[in-house]
Amino acid sequence: MTVVLEQIFNGFQLGFVYALIALGYTMVYGIIRLINFAHGDVFMVGAFLGVFGYTSWRLPFPLAILVSMVMCAVLGVTIERAAYRPLRYAPRIAALISAIGVSLFLEYFCSLKFVFGPNYRVVDRPFAVTSFRVAGANVSNIQVIVAVVVVVLLALLQYMLFHTKIGKAMRAVSQDHDAARLMGINVDNVISATFAIGSALAAAGGVLYAVAYPQIWPFLGIMPGLKAFTAAVLGGIGIVPGAFLGALIMGQVDVLSAAFISSQFRDAVGFSILILVLLVRPTGLLGSRQPEKV
């Protein structure tokens, strides 16, 4: 039993990180119906900046996360300005292709020698790893830190969406751009804010990922990005709680299928579940006819 519990903790660690990426996918989709493929790469940039923050720039770890989040927010807004805004009224496929372009650009630009370089870097953790026992199962301090940071960020996001003006504006824009504009909402600013928030969350996820699995390189965002996108679809794309739920499920499926079925079938199991869910509920687990989108 303790083994199962320990594996579930492992699954939560992974799922929480997926959740931070999935939220960005889902928020952007909810607002402008765009699958932002560059999101996984923003996550990668966040990981690098966070690690530079507490190593080269000698910032305390929480500040390093913040700095990385702010810088990635700026990056997200820049991407939106440069690559998506000019295509706002073009056919949707154009923006999608543009997103793939941005993704490849970030990967290969960051691979250049004078940016991050194409090689793997071993990450020095900002603190030593210790583990203690909860109900007989091993829990590491990293798992606790990941959980705490993610829950705090989620609470902040939830507060922002439902108790601030900008949150209200986002919800309005997600329902109807034109009506929102008639109500005096600056739609462009709201979209920029969405990108900023989504990218900042991905950056936080990146830093946590780098600390939890201490090795980084410029293509690190591809697989977690895909998994998080899957999670967002699984939960119902465009729905914030759905992305969180989907990410937790993906994390558990990843870990539990490797642990109790076979590590060789792990990804097959995860993606089969996605297909099954979509066959039964095409809008995802929490999707409905009148979804509350953000």
CB under 8 A: which stretch of 23-31, 171-179, 205-213, 278-286 binds other proteins? 205-213
Query: Pattern 115-154, binding to other proteins, x per CB under 8 A?
Result: ---xxx-x------x-x------x-x--------------
Among residue numbers 228 through 257, which ones bind other proteins (CB under 8 A)? 254-256
Longest CA span, the chain: 58
CA distance 219 to 15: 20
- Identified binder of other proteins from the candidate list 85, 160, 188, 267, rule CB under 8 A: 267
Q: Which is nearer to other proteins, 84 or 217 (CB)?
A: 217
CA distance 38 to 83: 11
Among residue numbers 2 through 41, which ones bind other proteins (CB under 8 A)? 3, 6-7, 10-11, 13-14, 37
Q: Alpha carbon 178 to chain centroid distance?
A: 28
Any contact of residue 80 with other proteins (CB under 8 A)?
A: no
Q: Which is nearer to other proteins, 262 or 288 (CB)?
A: 262
Closest CA to 6 of 211, 209, 255: 255
CB under 8 A: which stretch of 20-28, 169-177, 189-197, 213-221 binds other proteins? 213-221
Least distance from other proteins to the Cβ atom of residue 290, Å? 33
- Identified binder of other proteins from the candidate list 189, 215, 272, 288, rule CB under 8 A: 215
- Identified binder of other proteins from the candidate list 26, 68, 98, 103, rule CB under 8 A: 103
Any contact of residue 63 with other proteins (CB under 8 A)?
A: no
Least distance from other proteins to the Cβ atom of residue 287, Å? 25
51, 52, 56, 62 alpha-carbon torsion, rounded to 10°: -60
Calculate ∠ Cα 182-171-178, nearest 5°. Answer: 25
Least distance from other proteins to the Cβ atom of residue 210, Å? 9
CA distance 263 to 81: 42
Closest CA to 72 of 119, 38, 32: 38
Q: Which long-range contacts (CB under 8 A, 24 or more apart) does 246-249 make?
A: 246/22, 246/284, 246/285, 247/15, 247/16, 247/18, 247/19, 247/21, 247/22, 248/11, 248/12, 248/15, 248/16, 248/18, 248/19, 249/15, 249/273, 249/285
Any contact of residue 271 with other proteins (CB under 8 A)?
A: no
- Asked if 48 and 107 touch (Cβ cutoff 8 Å), the reply is no
> How many Cβ atoms are within 10 Å of 148's Cβ, its own excluded?
11
- Identified binder of other proteins from the candidate list 42, 212, 232, 233, rule CB under 8 A: 212
- Identified binder of other proteins from the candidate list 93, 165, 263, 280, rule CB under 8 A: 263
Any contact of residue 104 with other proteins (CB under 8 A)?
A: yes
Where in 126-221 does DSSP place strands (E)? 131-134, 137-140, 215-216
**Contact set with other proteins (CB under 8 A):** 3, 6-7, 10-11, 13-14, 37, 100-101, 103-104, 107, 111, 118-120, 122, 129, 131, 138, 140, 209, 212-215, 217, 219-220, 222-223, 254-256, 258-259, 262-264, 266-267
